Structure formats: C-alpha cells, structure tokens
Structure 1
Amino acid sequence: MNQDNNLNRPVRLSDYLVIVSGFFLNLTSVIEALADDLHQLAIYHSNQKTYETKVWQDFAQDLETLKEE
C-alpha cells in the first residue's frame, strides 16, 4: 500500500461542489458555442437573402430594359 504512512484526506462537500460547478461551467460553454453557431448561421442566411433579392432586382431591371429596346 502506501509506504509513507500518509493518510489520504477524506472526500468533503467542497469536492462535490467543485465537480458540480465544473459541470455547469462546461454546460454553459456548450450553450455559448451553440448560440455562437446559430448567430453565425443567421448572419449567413441574412446575407444570402440580401444577395438573392439583389440578383432578382437586377434581373427585373434587365427585363424592363429589354422590353423598352
């Protein structure tokens, strides 16, 4: 066993609090990462819709110019 004749300290309530607080810290990190990814996805979708609207407006403008010529 232990040749130094040292006793290991007992498990205390504070040890469980460290485990629980670490769990919640990891959980909040996951939620933050998910929120960041959803934010980036929303920005991408918004930019895509803006670009798509601009392309349709340019297309409609080109059709109007063709009709006039």
Structure 2
Amino acid sequence: MEEEQDYVPRSITLADFLVVISGFAVNVLRAFEMLASELLDLAVYNANRKTKVSKVWEQFASDLEKMEDNNG
C-alpha cells in the first residue's frame, strides 16, 4: 500500500504527442484511402452501367430497324 501512495506518474513528453499525432495521421490517411477506394468502385460501376445501357440502346435501334424493314 505504501508504494501506491509514493507513486508519481511520469510526465508527458514530446514522444507522447508524436504518438497521438501519428495515430491521428494514420487514421486520416486510412479514411482517404477508403474514400478513394469507394470512388473507384463507383466509377467502375458507372462505367459498366453506361456500357450496358449503350448496348441495350444499340440492340433496341437494331430491332426497330428490322421491324421497319419487315413492315415496308
């Protein structure tokens, strides 16, 4: 019990601040990395969607031309 009363916690040093700041920087960088990853996924999804929509419109136009040719 006597040892606990005599215990003096160590003082805060520059290294403690550096650890906190570096941890914060790592978390911010991870957040930007996740944001970039999500934006990339969204861009790929959008490009694939536009390609599929374009193919559908091309097929629709082709079918329409065939129908017009068949009807006269």
Check whether TM > 0.5: yes
1:54 & 1:60 partners in 2: Cα distance?
10
Number of the residue aligned with 1:5: 6
Equivalent position SS for 1:3 = helix
Number of the residue aligned with 1:53: 54
Counterpart AA for 2:15: S
User: Any stretches of 5+ residues in structure 1 without a counterpart?
Assistant: none
Alpha-carbon offset, residue 4 of structure 1: 4.5
Number of the residue aligned with 1:25: 26
User: Any stretches of 5+ residues in structure 2 without a counterpart?
Assistant: none
TM-score by length of 1: 0.91
- Per-residue deviation, residues 12-65 of structure 1 (Å, max 9, x unmatched): 000000011011001001100100110010011001100100000000100111
- Name whichever structure is richer in helix by fraction: 2
Number of the residue aligned with 2:63: 62
RMSD over aligned Cα, in angstroms?
Answer: 1.3
